[in-house]
């Protein structure tokens, strides 16, 4: 069965709240949710959306008391995803943007609820090559035995669990089987079985999810609310403060065979470095890692590449990305929406006037956008900056022998900018390996 108990250290950092016991999750939740972008969502509104999601999943009718009990851990996960883990969630949504059209199509063909597209977000944060310590891999975190059971090849030279298309087809077949076995009682039980295994859920007996929840393994009791929170965000990311406006000039191509990056660069007219920036998981690769790999390219480059690909090489073009802009970890994604905002995390020593001056906005507008009653801000606070200029936040890793002045010359930014953005009070304390951030026009 697929497993997510210990996905990987990086993913555990992303889903850090999963380490909390269920009681702590409930205690962490309050009556309102305030996202990192300042969106305020009431508990009642989350409960209303959750009830609609449960209906769409085909759940039996939930009573008011049972729905409130389920809503508490879901709200706690929403607080984590939209608050302290906002940028990690944003990155996961951006990765998922390339896979969700294909996943939705597969779910539609199988007659399964579209909300199940959130499972890979809970399983792997949409990393096609995610690996757990227990041996699970891929978007859907298949264990080797389960992968072979559903037709995936797992061997030393080939592992189809990291093939997004083949793994999705296998996962959809497994979900269809689980719905047939448990869905007449509760689709949430089928989702719990995806995490804990159908045998374990079958031993619970003829119970609905409401009655069975207290008998589930602790990891699974956390997994179901986490899935539901991810599904609520995917249904309406803008409502939860994630950017959805604009039409970035990117297209996704699914390429049938693992071509070399040099050939793709030659055919698309891009440099290999540019292709890697757009597809950061290719950073240390010379060719596409799997068949049917989903490649992100600028629209014009995608058209040039498609012209060179025969029908057997080009699986099919996917929907255009509509939610995000930015070129991956080398140029850290700055959250933006149609009205032109970015997010800035306040550093030690920052002041509101300095932030406004750096991004070319009026202090009053900055205060209004963040509902501030005064100019007081604190380190770690996330501010909405209502600028129409196209800024990109970048990062630089300090090298041995570097000084702040040398770094500033190399990057082409003022020394004061580096000090301000990074909260550097003593430039002599720079350490090799330290990460510095800076902003540039994109």
**pLDDT tens column, 336-365:** 333 345 778 888 888 898 888 888 888 988
Would the pLDDT of 306 be above 90?
Answer: no
Per-residue confidence band for 260, with pLDDT thresholds at 50, 70 and 90? very high
Q: Where are the domains of the chain?
A: 9-235, 250-320, 330-441
Burial (CB count within 10 angstroms: exposed 0-12, middle 13-18, buried 19+), residue 378: exposed
Distance between CA atoms of residues 133 and 2, nearest Å: 13
Q: What is residue 54's predicted lDDT score, i.e. its pLDDT?
A: 92
Q: What is residue 107's predicted lDDT score, i.e. its pLDDT?
A: 92
Per-residue confidence band for 13, with pLDDT thresholds at 50, 70 and 90? very low
Range 365-370 contact pairs with CB under 8 angstroms and sequence separation of 24 or more: 369/38, 369/341, 370/38
Distance between CA atoms of residues 17 and 204, nearest Å: 27
Query: Is the separation of the CB atoms in 395 and 384 below 8 Å?
Result: no
Strand partners, 441: 391
DSSP reduced 3-state for 304: helix
One-letter-per-residue 3-state SS of 371-414: CCCCCCCCCCCEEEECCCCCEEEEEEECCCCCCHHHHHHHHCCC
* Cβ atoms within 10 Å, residue 105: 15
Q: What is residue 81's predicted lDDT score, i.e. its pLDDT?
A: 92
Query: Is the separation of the CB atoms in 417 and 405 below 8 Å?
Result: no
**pLDDT tens digit string along 224-239?**
999 999 999 999 998 8
Q: What is residue 360's predicted lDDT score, i.e. its pLDDT?
A: 83
DSSP state of 251: E
* Cβ atoms within 10 Å, residue 273: 12
User: Does the pTM exceed 0.75?
Assistant: no
Q: What is residue 206's predicted lDDT score, i.e. its pLDDT?
A: 61
CATH fit for domain 9-235, picks 1.10.530.10, 3.40.470.10, 1.10.3720.10, 3.40.50.2020: 1.10.530.10
Residue pointed to by tokens 């994630």: 242
Q: What is residue 114's predicted lDDT score, i.e. its pLDDT?
A: 92
pLDDT cut 90: percent of the chain above it: 16
Q: What is residue 252's predicted lDDT score, i.e. its pLDDT?
A: 78
Q: Is 9-235's fold the same as 330-441's?
A: no
* Cβ atoms within 10 Å, residue 271: 11
Query: Is the separation of the CB atoms in 389 and 441 below 8 Å?
Result: yes
Question: Can you spell out the DSSP letters for 1-63?
Answer: ----TT--HHHHHHTGGGGS-HHHHHHH--SEEE-TTS-EEEHHHHHHHHHHHHHHTTPPPPP
Enumerate the H helices of 111-237 as residue ranges: 119-124, 144-149, 164-182, 187-196, 198-202, 209-212, 218-235
**pLDDT tens digit string along 356-405?**
888 888 898 888 877 788 888 888 787 878 877 777 778 888 988 888 88
Would the pLDDT of 315 be above 50?
Answer: no
**pLDDT tens digit string along 74-98?**
999 999 999 888 888 988 988 888 8
Distance between CA atoms of residues 147 and 128, nearest Å: 15
CATH node for 330-441: 3.10.350.10
Least confident of 25-34, 36-45, 255-264: 25-34
């Amino acid at each position: 069965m697929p497993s997510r108990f210990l996905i990987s250290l990086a993913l555990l950092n992303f889903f850090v709240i999963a380490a909390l016991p269920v009681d702590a999750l409930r205690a962490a939740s309050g009556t309102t949710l305030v996202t990192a972008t300042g969106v305020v969502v009431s508990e009642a509104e989350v409960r209303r959306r959750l009830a609609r999601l449960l209906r769409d999943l085909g759940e039996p009718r939930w009573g008011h008391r049972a729905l409130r009990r389920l809503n508490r851990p879901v709200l706690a996960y929403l607080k984590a995803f939209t608050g302290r883990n906002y940028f990690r969630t944003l990155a996961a949504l951006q990765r998922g943007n390339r896979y969700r059209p294909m996943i939705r199509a597969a779910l539609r063909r199988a007659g399964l609820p579209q909300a199940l597209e959130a499972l890979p977000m809970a399983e792997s944060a949409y990393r096609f090559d995610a690996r757990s310590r227990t041996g699970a891999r891929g978007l859907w975190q298949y264990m080797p035995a389960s992968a072979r059971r559903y037709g995936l090849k797992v061997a030393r030279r080939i592992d189809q669990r990291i093939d997004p298309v083949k793994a999705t087809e296998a996962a959809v077949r497994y979900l269809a089987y689980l719905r047939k076995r448990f869905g007449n009682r509760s689709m949430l039980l089928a989702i719990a079985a995806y995490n804990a295994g159908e045998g374990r859920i079958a031993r619970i007996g003829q119970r609905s999810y409401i009655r069975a929840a207290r008998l589930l393994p602790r990891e699974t009791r956390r997994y179901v609310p986490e899935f539901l929170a991810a599904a609520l965000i995917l249904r309406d990311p803008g409502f939860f403060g994630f950017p959805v406006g604009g039409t970035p000039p990117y297209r996704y191509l699914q390429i049938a065979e693992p071509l070399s990056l040099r050939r793709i660069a030659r055919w698309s007219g891009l440099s290999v470095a540019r292709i890697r920036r757009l597809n950061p998981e290719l950073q240390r690769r010379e060719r596409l890692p799997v068949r049917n790999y989903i490649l992100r390219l600028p629209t014009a480059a995608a058209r040039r590449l498609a012209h060179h690909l025969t029908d057997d090489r080009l699986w099919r073009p996917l929907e255009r990305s509509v939610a995000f802009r930015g070129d991956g970890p080398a140029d850290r994604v700055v959250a933006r929406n149609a009205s032109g905002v970015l997010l800035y995390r306040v550093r030690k020593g920052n002041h509101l006037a300095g932030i406004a001056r750096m991004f070319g906005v009026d202090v009053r507008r900055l205060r209004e956008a963040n509902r501030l009653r005064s100019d007081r801000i604190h380190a770690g606070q996330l501010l909405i900056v209502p600028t129409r200029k196209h800024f990109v936040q970048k990062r630089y890793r300090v090298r041995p022998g570097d000084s702040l002045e040398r770094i500033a010359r190399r990057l082409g930014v003022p020394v004061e900018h580096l000090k301000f953005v990074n909260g550097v009070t003593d430039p002599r304390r720079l350490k090799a390996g330290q990460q510095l951030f800076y902003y540039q026009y994109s």
